[in-house]
Homo-oligomer: A and B are copies of this chain.
Amino acid sequence: MTSTPRNRPAKRATILDVAAAAGVSRQTVTRAMNEMPGIRQATRERVQELARELGYTPSRFAKGLVQGAHTSVGLAIPGLTNPYFPAFASSVVEMATQRAWNVVMDDFGHGSGSALDAVARLAPQVDAVIGYLGPDAEEAQAMLGRRPVVVLDEPAGLTAGGISFDYPYAARLALDRLLAVGSGRIAYMDSVTEEGSLTARGAAVAGVASDLGIDLTVFRSEDSAHASREAVESLLSRHAGLDGLLVFNDLMAAGALKALAGSGRGVPDDCAVIGMDGIPLGELVTPELTTLSLNLRDVGRTAVDLLDGLLSGAVVAGSAEADLRLRHELVIRQSA
């Protein structure tokens, strides 16, 4: 067995190995690898060739240590299952890429626990975190110390920055629409929370409904199309006269559409339906979903811009400028 000495390198080759092999100093290797001036073309090529043969890859740690490295941001989201989150993630990745940041993703949707676990995993790897952290946001900020956390769907509070949504405004838009298309017996389906209380969206909808003199039926479902479908089926058996439905998000609204169709009700004629989020899925279901739409690219851009400001010092953590609020837009399609 006299084959190549290092088919499966036990230890990674270092710059010194390459330097030794080439019979030059390590600086020369650096110059060759990084396309720096002050080196003869022939030397450069010889070194590069040797580096390839040895399977040499500069250590990102050593490099980062000495150079101060590119910023890397952690993205913490509660699962990629609801299309909303990938859409958001996509825009964050896009914006981050433009700045030559890299994004480390952690999805705490599956068994992997809470938002806090995700942040704990991310903490040693990143310079900042953007995420849907819910009530864990402040503890996440504590975990990151001075490194900024930008929370979504939550006011900044003790975190460096926050982007929240104007739910009362959105609720008003939706409820007005439902009224306008003639709905009289309106229900709102909220997502379940750990504490059993209403979500921020739910609270806003309930508040506006009361202002409008609407006798709102509120019920809950897990955040999935399947669960939502069952919840609506069950609701329908109790409230047969339901003729207007506002739903926590579009994915759940899609499930609701299924339930309504299954019960023989026409949408929007027998019951109007409005979702929330504005994800592309809404255009693929039948009937197409009227929804409170968020421009997810804007949300992603806003988050990254805010983080950029925080990182550069242009925006002060916890200041009013760091606590943004975005609005939904009512996109009218077929379901209401």
Contact = CB atoms under 8 A, between A and B. Distances in A.
Contacts of A97: 106-107, 112, 121
A145 B94 contact: no
B313 A284 contact: no
Contacts of A72: 104, 125
Nearest to A69: B61
Interface string A46-58: 0000001001111
Contacts of A258: 284
Interface in A301-320: 313
Interface in A69-86: 69, 72, 75, 79-81, 83, 85-86
Contacts of A187: none
A146 B11 CA distance: 12
A124 B285 contact: no
A284 B225 contact: yes
A57 B145 contact: yes
A55 B145 contact: yes
Contacts of A57: 144-147
A158 to B, nearest CB: 14
Contact of A62 (B63, B65, B102, B283): B65
Interface string A95-128: 0011010111111011110000000011011000
A56 B145 CA distance: 8
Contacts of A83: 83, 86
A214 interface: no
Given A65-B59, A258-B284, A284-B258, A313 B90 contact: no
A110 to B, nearest CB: 5
A253 to B, nearest CB: 10
A318 to B, nearest CB: 11
Interface in A28-49: none
Nearest to A108: B97
A107 B86 CA distance: 11
Given A86-B86, A93-B107, A225-B280, 8 more contacts: A80-B90, A85-B86, A97-B112, A97-B121, A225-B283, A261-B286, A284-B285, A285-B285
Sorted from nearest, which 4 A-B pairs have the closest CB atoms?
Answer: A86-B86, A55-B146, A61-B64, A80-B90
